[in-house]
Amino acid sequence: MNALSQHNLIRFSVVGALALAAVLALTVFGAATPPQKKDIVDTAVAAGQFKTLAAALQAAGLVDTLKGKGPFTVFAPTDEAFAKLPASTVEDLLKPENKAKLQAILTYHVVAGRVTAAQVMKMSSAKTLNGEDLTIHTDGDAVMVNDAHVVKTDILCSNGVIHVIDTVLLPK
């Protein structure tokens, strides 16, 4: 083997070793989490369990707000949570003449800032975008916001975080 071939073999070996080291480092230490591409509204729609919430946000004119920069924390009631409301409540709220009431209810589910589950568990209350406070209770790992159980946490979005709840929150 001539000197040029030996040099190329060594160079390729060093490059290969560096590439292997990089792969091992990513495996051991974890690759950086890619930034979330979907905002709160798009994430909720894609989940499939927030159809009523999406329709309500549209009727209340809040879609653009929750697609905005934020960050926001949304305590998002599922379709099942909306189904617990008395008959015809949702249909009445979706009427144009009830837009202000619907906005008050929906903004009662939103807190300014990105508040993770770990942070929520340390809180006793949180001020909502409608100006009223939510009461937060913890019992071990269980978290309640007013009378709603938090059933899934930390759904990260490009402009905030969603925590799924099993009951629609109603302001005073």
Q: What is the CATH number of the domain that holds 115?
A: 2.30.180.10
Sole residue written with tokens 């939103």? 110
> What is d(CA 128, CA 134) in angstroms, rounded to the nearest whole number?
7
| 93 token code pair | 């709220």
Band the pLDDT of 36: cuts 50, 70, 90.
low
All residues at 6 or more sequence positions from 120 whose CB lies less than 8 Å from its CB, including other chains = 126, 136, 143, 145, 150, 153, 163
Is residue 170 included in any domain, yes or no?
no
pTM, to two decimals: 0.78
Domain tally for the chain? 2
The reply to whether 53 and 8 lie within a common domain is no
- Whether the predicted pLDDT of 19 surpasses 90: no
Q: What is the pLDDT of residues 56-114, one digit of tens each?
A: 999 999 999 999 999 999 999 999 999 999 989 999 999 999 999 999 999 999 999 99
What range defines the domain where residue 13 resides?
A: 1-32
C-alpha angle 134/73/169, rounded to 5°? 40
> What is d(CA 151, CA 164) in angstroms, rounded to the nearest whole number?
6
Q: Averaged over 135-145, what is the pLDDT?
A: 91
> What is d(CA 36, CA 26) in angstroms, rounded to the nearest whole number?
20
The reply to whether 154 and 110 lie within a common domain is yes
The reply to whether 24 and 103 lie within a common domain is no
Band the pLDDT of 1: cuts 50, 70, 90.
low
Looking at per-residue pLDDT, the higher value among 127 and 22 belongs to: 127
The SS3 assignment for 121 reads: coil
The reply to whether 83 and 116 lie within a common domain is yes
